[in-house]
Amino acid sequence: TTKRKNILITGGAGFIGSHVVQLFVQKYPDYNIINLDCLTYAGNLENLIEVENSPNYFFERVNILDERNLVEVFQKHQITDVIHLAAESHVDRSITDPLAFVKTNVIGTVNLLNTAKAFWEDYSEHLFYHVSTDEVYGSLDHGGFFLESTPYDPQSPYSASKASSDHFVRAYANTYKLKTVITNCSNNYGPNQFPEKLIPLCIHNIKNNKPLPVYGKGENIRDWLYVVDHARGIDVVFHQGRSGETYNIGGFNEWKNIDIVRLLCKKMDEKLGREKGSSEKLITFVKDRAGHDLRYAIDATKIKNELGWEPSLQFEEGISKTIDWYLENEDWLKNVTSGNYQKYYEEHY
């Protein structure tokens, strides 16, 4: 049996947040889950159709920059815990508009910390869980892994804003004794991911016979994790993680970008009944991302040894499920790629 909680999940209409909301709403009927999201281009309530009618699910359209509304939501729902995912999340957008990242990721996080700090009385009874990224550790050459003790060395406006927010969370734990936990996760993929990110962008473009823009030589390496496994990790850390700690979450699953794009081409040729090798012809090498980090790789030993979490899905299986989801959810893709997306796409590619 679980103790009654009213958990505020921010960014719950986004990619990862929607999976976390779904997991918590369905797994913990005794918890009230309050999804707070202002619905930017990346927020989409269609990601939540499985849970939108559940009696323990609530939605509040609020911007984390708006302190007054945050306080109201804490009061209205008697918030007991926070899982904070709301953020500007796309590195390329942070290069063209860094200030938007400072606002939401830094100031928004501090607003949320202030609201929790003022609203909660006995801090030992409440948890502020901050969801962060492996990008705060900077870029690796070809050896080594990011550990929880790796010094911060953010290289993009996005990672600088996330690193800053992590520092504020730790500062609130140290200064005001707020109970906090942070997880730093590697690259996620899976259903509901906005098609500005590498994997859904390629799936969308292969389907439509459009060029597949590979930055630089495609030699950059990322460590990929299926989004549901990240949500499972958040569940485990939320319930069993030690207060004040950081846990890295990753798949021990490193891939060069070009190899991922080739894998997507191969699988989609099979699934769409196209001639072998035909999608690969769409691969187009384009100008590199400014300041492009070479390699990320998470050492996820701590969460495994301490909390028993491990990824459940093999990469090729996860990729296959992901492609199937995008092919089966044409309307979702059509809705998010109309309007503003067109402008973004034309400006970037």
The residue within the footprint of ligand NAD, chosen from 9, 11, 59, 267 (CB under 6 A), is: 11
Q: Is 226 a catalytic residue?
A: no
Residues 269-328 that bind ligand DAU (CB under 6 A): 289, 296
Q: Which residues of 322-334 are buried (b: 16+ CB within 10 A; e: fewer)?
A: bbebbeeeeebbe
Q: Is 158 a catalytic residue?
A: yes
Contact between 187 and ligand NAD (CB under 6 A)? yes
Cα–Cα distance, 287 to 284 (Å, whole number): 10
Q: Which of 158, 172, 215, 226 is catalytic?
A: 158
Residue nearest to ligand NAD (CB): 14
Q: Which of 60, 134, 166, 229 is catalytic?
A: 134
What does 16 bind: ligand DAU, ligand NAD, none (CB cut-off 5 to 8 Å by kind)? ligand NAD
In sequence order, the β-bridge partners of residue 8 are 34, 82
What does 14 bind: ligand NAD, ligand DAU, none (CB cut-off 5 to 8 Å by kind)? ligand NAD
What does 80 bind: ligand NAD, ligand DAU, none (CB cut-off 5 to 8 Å by kind)? none
- Smallest separation, CB 274 to ligand NAD (Å): 28
Residues 252-271 that bind ligand DAU (CB under 6 A): 257
What does 86 bind: ligand DAU, ligand NAD, none (CB cut-off 5 to 8 Å by kind)? ligand NAD
- Smallest separation, CB 110 to ligand NAD (Å): 12
Contact between 114 and ligand NAD (CB under 6 A)? no
Candidate ranges 1-9, 57-65, 286-294, 300-308; the one touching ligand NAD (CB under 6 A):
57-65
Candidate ranges 60-68, 167-175, 207-215, 239-247; the one touching ligand DAU (CB under 6 A):
207-215
| CB-CB neighbours of 107 under 10 Å | 17
- Smallest separation, CB 198 to ligand DAU (Å): 4
Q: Is 46 a catalytic residue?
A: no
Candidate ranges 62-70, 89-97, 138-146, 272-280; the one touching ligand DAU (CB under 6 A):
89-97
Q: Are 46 and 161 in contact (CB under 8 A)?
A: no
What does 39 bind: ligand DAU, ligand NAD, none (CB cut-off 5 to 8 Å by kind)? ligand NAD
Contact between 91 and ligand DAU (CB under 6 A)? yes
Contact between 215 and ligand DAU (CB under 6 A)? yes
Q: Which residues are catalytic?
A: 134-135, 158
